[in-house]
Amino acid sequence: MKKRFFVGVIMTLFAMVIFAGCGNAHYSAYKSALSELISAKEKLISEAQTAPSAEALGNAIKAYATSIDTFKTKRADLFVKYPQLTDRGPHPEDVNKILERSAGLEEKIDSVLIPAMEKYPNDANLLSAWNELVGKRASL
């Protein structure tokens, strides 16, 4: 009886070690998707700071909005593929750092975009792009 119990315990521990080592694929895929979104945020910030016209600023905003759509699709696919993965966590420390960086860039986007848009207060295309972006950012 004791032998069976110890064999069962050893097999359970072995299985836990194996599954723990194989269970992080979802985090690497999530980190990759988040990194792509961060790159898109950094690109928007850079382009917004140097936009020579309302059209260029609008195009930068639209490109970022497209990146949000791409991220949301990837995230939804990952959440379906890996049900244990959620926005709420808990996440490993490296994922938390990426999420914090992403949140910090959201604040920077606001601090850069609003002054850039104030240069072109009456441009209808720019306002349309902004309104689209606001809706998409709310769903992140």
* 24 phi, psi to nearest 5 deg: -100, 5
H, E, C per residue of 83-127: CCCCCCCCCCHHHHHHHHHHHHHHHHHHHHHHHHHHCCCCCHHHH
- Whole-number Å distance between alpha carbons of 21 and 32: 19
Per residue in 18-69, pLDDT (tens digit) is 344 445 667 899 999 999 999 999 999 999 999 999 999 999 999 999 999 9
% the chain with pLDDT above 90: 68
Q: Average pLDDT in the 108-130 region?
A: 94
**pTM, entire model:** 0.79
Average pLDDT for the chain:
85
**Contact by Cβ (8 Å): 54, 125:** yes
